[in-house]
């Protein structure tokens, strides 16, 4: 998949969005772990159980496909913003960036229902992947939505080990990690544990809350700017054993 001006040309079949999507994903910080750039192995681990199946890349982006009336689009994140690309009705291989009117059409027809989250669905502590406008890679961040000050989320990859452990224990609701069981795991290792934990808690709907947002969902919901009202109370956490 490649971009030329504001048009996307798909070299794969018309069913999905093509297997060369990696050219767009090349600007992403690792979508599935917070330490390195996206690799096909990591995408495959997430969407094909670790098997060498190149359709795993397409499978991820298929989750970002949206439809409105007879139009078909895809939401893509990058450079601190999200964009909607619309499939040509004449040539299914061609995708062009939508205008404001196109976005309104898709939203008004409920096409973004899977991307737009109700605020009461969000955990007070939320993890998300994004790339700010001044950055060139995607990064894993954690944000406390109850903080009232200007809070766009804390980058986890540059936090010290002790701070990351505190965040993990806070989410778990217990001191699962102490001085007795943290040897041999560095700060980057705990950064990975934190991200995987928040992904897992979202998957299993712990406390019936969302704990993690992918890049597109985080941007569509403007999660960096959002903060909960003062009167909202912190929901209790559920004690859990360490995932690793």
Put the strands of the sheet holding 94-97 in their side by side order: 2-4, 7-9, 94-97, 81-87, 71-78, 65-68
Cα angle 214, 133, 17; round to 5? 45
**In terms of domains, do 211 and 129 share one?**
yes
DSSP β-ladder status, 65-68 and 2-4:
unpaired
57, 73, 108: which is the final residue of a domain? 108
pTM confidence score: 0.74
Predicted confidence (pLDDT) per residue in 171-208, tens digit? 999 999 998 899 989 999 999 999 999 999 999 999 99
Domain boundary among 86, 108, 130: 108
Domain contains 232: no
Which residue range forms the structural domain that includes residue 28? 2-108
Q: Are 240 and 173 in contact (CB under 8 A)?
A: yes
Q: Are 61 and 21 in contact (CB under 8 A)?
A: yes
d(CA 210, CA 42): 22
C-alpha–C-alpha distance, residues 131 and 86, integer Å: 23
Percent of the chain with pLDDT over 90: 50
Domains of the chain: total: 2
Taking the C-alpha atoms of residue 62 and residue 70, their distance in angstroms, rounded to an integer, is 17
pLDDT digit string, tens, across residues 89-120: 999 889 999 999 999 999 999 999 999 999 89
pLDDT tens track for 81-93: 899 999 999 998 8
Residues 95 and 127 in one domain: no
Q: How far apart are CA 96 and CA 152, in angstroms?
A: 31
Domain presence at residue 96: yes
Residue 10 lies in a domain: yes
Q: Is residue 233 part of a domain?
A: no
């Amino acid at each position: 998949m490649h971009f030329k001006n504001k048009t996307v040309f798909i070299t794969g079949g018309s069913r999905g969005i093509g297997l060369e999507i990696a050219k767009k994903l090349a600007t992403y910080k690792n979508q599935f772990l917070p330490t390195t750039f996206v690799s096909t192995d990591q995408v495959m681990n997430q969407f094909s159980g670790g098997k060498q199946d190149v359709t795993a890349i397409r499978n991820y982006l298929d989750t970002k496909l949206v439809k409105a009336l007879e139009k078909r689009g895809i939401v893509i994140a990058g450079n601190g913003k999200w964009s909607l690309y619309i499939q040509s009705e004449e040539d299914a291989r061609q995708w062009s960036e939508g205008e404001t009117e196109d976005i309104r059409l898709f939203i008004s027809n409920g096409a973004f229902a899977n991307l737009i989250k109700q605020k009461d669905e969000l955990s007070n502590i939320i993890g998300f992947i994004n790339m700010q406008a001044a950055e060139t890679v995607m990064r894993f961040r954690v944000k406390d939505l109850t903080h009232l000050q200007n809070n766009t989320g804390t980058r986890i990859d540059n936090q010290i080990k002790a701070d990351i452990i505190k965040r993990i224990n806070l989410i778990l609701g217990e001191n699962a990690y102490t001085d007795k069981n943290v040897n041999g795991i560095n700060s980057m290792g705990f950064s990975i544990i934190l991200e995987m934990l928040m992904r897992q808690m979202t998957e299993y709907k712990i406390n019936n809350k969302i704990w993690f947002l992918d890049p597109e969902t985080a941007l569509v919901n403007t999660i960096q700017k959002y903060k909960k009202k003062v009167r909202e109370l912190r929901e209790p956490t559920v004690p859990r054993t360490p995932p690793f």
